[in-house]
Chains A and B, each alone.
Chain A
Amino acid sequence: MKDEKYIELITLPGMVKLDEIPVLDYGGFSELVLGLLSLESNHCLNYFVVPFPGKYKFICCIGCDERKSVRVFSHEQERNEKLILPSLSCNHFPLHIFEREIHENFGIDFSGHPWLKPVRYPIDRHDKNRIMDNYPFYTIGGEELHEVGVGPIHAGVIEPGHFRFICNGEKVLHLEIQLGYQHRGVENLFVQNEHGVKKAVLAESIAGDTATGHAVCHAALMETLGSMAVSGTLSLERTIALELERIAVHIGDTAALCTDIAYQFGQVVCEALRTVVINTTQSWCGNRFGKGLIRAGGTHYPLTPEIAGAIRKNLEEVRERYNQITGRIFSMSSVLSRFEGTGKVTRYQASLIGAVGMAARSSGLKRDIRWSHPSPAYGQLNYDPVVINRGDVWARAKIRVLEVEKSMEMVFQFLDLLDGKSENTLPVYKSDLMPDAFAIALTEGWRGEICHCAVTDEKGKIIHYKVKDPSLHNWMALAIAVRGQEISDFPLCNKSYNLSYCGNDL
């Protein structure tokens, strides 16, 4: 094992002793990363720094679709104010966001990085002189051009973020997105709070619209570090909750897309259907977003046969009515003329920026944790994701319709597999976790891959917690999508991605 360049985790969520992660020199590390990532079936799940006294440990996790595994390896550097490393982003652009994050947090310079800009202005950032007010926006000179600044507060009831457009007339030449307004210090709170319930509630609040997704990922991580076994029943119940979340958000987004093109009929019908789905979740666990449902080791809310019956009945009703309205939406020329060709991101661009989840799949890139790294529940179904090659707003609207159908089918299959059984183990809030360990968990939330990693010390206390929301990658897709578009199509493009601000800002 000592001679290996990486350690391969076959079962996920995975755990490894910290000292079993191979430590390479930076040259060997670069060669290995770039070698692995030259295959499209591999992609970087996470690359981050764990600070130790006197040294920085850079941990890199590469997901391998073919082997359904995660390869983990690292390099270490002395803690030094003026540490400079040659950037790997020049050779493999998707790494850009990880290097930016590391640079912002620790001040480590990546020479040759094309875009070493702030990610979220965290409270413990290295350079306190970098403040929200002096973000280094890209500028283009010329009398013909003008800039448009939007936000942080937007017209609707949504989260804050700042968008800076450079336009030539109505046409957008460039969009730069400045985030960080939502930064609450989530990762630090995971380290400071040893309180198990608090960590679970915190996980649900990373992005409240993906409460189930993040909670499932966090619970899986805690179970791995706490050596807790999860029954097949619990795994199935969680997966049903995840799919219900996906169905609800996708239907809500269909409504919102209709709003943005002023098709009110489509909007109100889909809004009402979303209500049915989230109220179904509420009748299961008392919360419309599934908060409180997912806990490590067990659950307070077993999926009883009555609730299973209600889910089946409601979904059948919603399925029929959603098919009716989307059939109508996608046959109207006035809808199609706004959706088709708008905000196009090509497959090449999507792979270049490292898009994940729905944003990748609507541009023809097959990225789906349910397929590439399936949990036991998904593994039973031979799930194959929906992929659309067009990359425009139409594709991002259509993929929602197709995924709702697919998710409903899956929920019905999962309910069949449950066959009236329900989980009867209660949650376990463990504080004695595996000491000196590194653990990683992956979940496909409705936006895309969610990755939580944790590192523990010799007493089994968490000393580093890393959250990655899919939005971290996908915000760049939105910036690319609006290039060359009318600025008036920005709201439509934005909604078609519906990315998370707080998931990025943490």
Chain B
Amino acid sequence: MFLDEFIIYKRHGRQSVPDLRSVELTPLFRGRPVISADITTEETLKVAGLCPTGAISSAPCSIDLRKCVFCKECQFALPGKIAFTNDYKMAVNSKEDLIIHTGQDHPLTLDPGKIRKEIRSLFRHALKLRQVSAGGDNSCEMELNAAGNVNFDMGRYGIEFVASPRHADGIVITGPITSNMAEALQICYDAVPDPKIVILAGTDAISGGVFAGSPALDRKFLEKYPVDLYVPGNPVHPLTFINGVMDLMGIPKG
């Protein structure tokens, strides 16, 4: 009987990704986009009309990752001019940094000046987060769960999701924030002791995504509190989330 377990154990092997900073995802993964410097206004207008969330602006051309749902339709329409790279490190703490301009091809990073001092001093070695799904479609939630699973194992850095907001150092919001969930979100936030951080995970949370403008949403919460980390994605990839949080905490390497 225990022999079975041993055989499975041997076969299972070591599953955790050794270095979460240097994983190379499949080239097809839709991460940080790059816009060619020679894109014309006509081309920009063509893809701007194609974009389901109005993430593409013209004159000059830019892609707003706050709104982008990573459907890649713009790249399919203009191959060679727009390319989604497999760079999953897209989390930032300054939301303007999520606007990708023409010719811009450098990794997205956090603005160190904007990181509150107490965050690193208090949470660097143990960060407990309460997740609130406020209209999330369960794909972001599953990816956040996966961030703690046997493969990604963010627990190795002391980053963990907890059940009670009283035990948490901050909240991670997924979903466009529905009216029906607005009150519960507020109660949960209030229950987290100070100082606390707010992370928006996924395009739906950052801008409402494909639901933006729906009367069933109530995003007033976001007008009231500062956001410490924006993690784009549809859904967020576990590596995007973990790398973002590690950067916020100032955790150097695996």
Q: Which residues does A use to contact B, with CB under 8 Å?
A: 121-124, 132, 152-153, 155-160, 180-185, 188-189, 195, 197-198, 200-202, 205-209, 211, 252, 265, 268-269, 271-272, 275, 279, 282-289, 291-292, 300-301, 321, 324-325, 327-328, 331, 426, 500-502, 505
Contacts and interface: CB of A to CB of B under 8 A. Distances in A.
A384 B9 CA distance: 34
Nearest to B214: A185
B178 interface: yes
Contact of B181 (A124, A181, A252): A181
A467 B4 CA distance: 45
B216 A185 contact: yes
B11 A182 contact: no
Contact of B26 (A123, A286, A502): A286
Contacts of A206: 137
Interface residues of B, number: 67
Contact of B216 (A157, A158, A183): A183
Contacts of A289: 139, 142, 235
A426 B175 CA distance: 30
Contact of B210 (A157, A182, A205, A500): A205
B52 A201 contact: yes
A124 B144 CA distance: 32
Contacts of B50: 197
B71 A292 contact: yes
Contacts of B163: 155-156
Given A208-B137, A211-B137, A287-B70, 7 more contacts: A132-B180, A181-B134, A206-B137, A207-B137, A265-B5, A288-B143, A502-B135
A181 B28 contact: no
B211 A269 contact: no
B179 A123 contact: yes
20 contacts: A122-B216, A152-B181, A153-B132, A159-B138, A182-B135, A182-B136, A184-B175, A201-B69, A201-B71, A208-B142, A209-B138, A268-B12, A268-B15, A268-B150, A271-B149, A272-B15, A282-B26, A289-B235, A324-B8, A328-B5
B146 A275 contact: yes
B30 interface: yes
A178 to B, nearest CB: 10
Contacts of A195: 52
B22 interface: no
B12 A269 contact: yes
A292 B70 contact: yes
B176 interface: yes
B11 A328 contact: no
B221 interface: no
Contacts of B209: 205
Contacts of A182: 133, 135-136, 175, 178, 180-181
A182 B199 CA distance: 19
B102 interface: no
B1 to A, nearest CB: 8
B198 interface: no
Given A285-B28, A327-B4, A121 B180 contact: yes
Nearest to B179: A123
B184 A153 contact: yes
Interface in B1-37: 1, 4-5, 7-9, 11-12, 15, 25-26, 28-30
A158 B141 contact: yes
Contacts of A252: 142
Nearest to A284: B28
Contacts of A158: 133, 138, 141
Interface in B96-149: 130-146, 149
Nearest to B150: A268
A107 to B, nearest CB: 19
Contacts of A328: 4-5, 8
Contacts of B215: 123-124, 185
B230 interface: no
B211 A286 contact: no
B12 A157 contact: no
Contacts of A502: 135-138
A208 B143 CA distance: 11
A327 B3 CA distance: 13
Contacts of A265: 5, 8-9
A275 B149 contact: yes
Given A153-B184, A211-B139, A291-B234, A300 B30 contact: no
B237 interface: yes
Interface string B50-76: 111100000000000000011111001
A184 B214 contact: yes
Contacts of B145: 156-157
B78 interface: no
A200 B72 CA distance: 13
Nearest to A120: B180
Contacts of B15: 268, 272
Nearest to B12: A269
Q: Which of B5, B69, B143, B181 has the most CB of A within 10 A?
A: B181
Contacts of A283: 26, 28
Contacts of A288: 143, 235, 237
Contacts of B70: 287, 291-292
A501 B138 contact: yes
A477 B164 CA distance: 28
Sorted from nearest, which 7 A-B pairs have the closest CB atoms?
A208-B139, A208-B137, A185-B216, A198-B52, A286-B28, A155-B163, A123-B216
Contact of B142 (A180, A209, A292): A209
B214 A197 contact: no
A304 B50 CA distance: 26
A160 B181 contact: yes
A104 to B, nearest CB: 13
A184 B133 contact: no
A352 to B, nearest CB: 28
Q: Which of A158, A160, A331 has the most CB of B within 10 A?
A: A160
A265 B130 CA distance: 26
B210 A201 contact: yes
Nearest to B27: A286
A321 B11 contact: yes
Contact of A188 (B4, B204, B214): B214
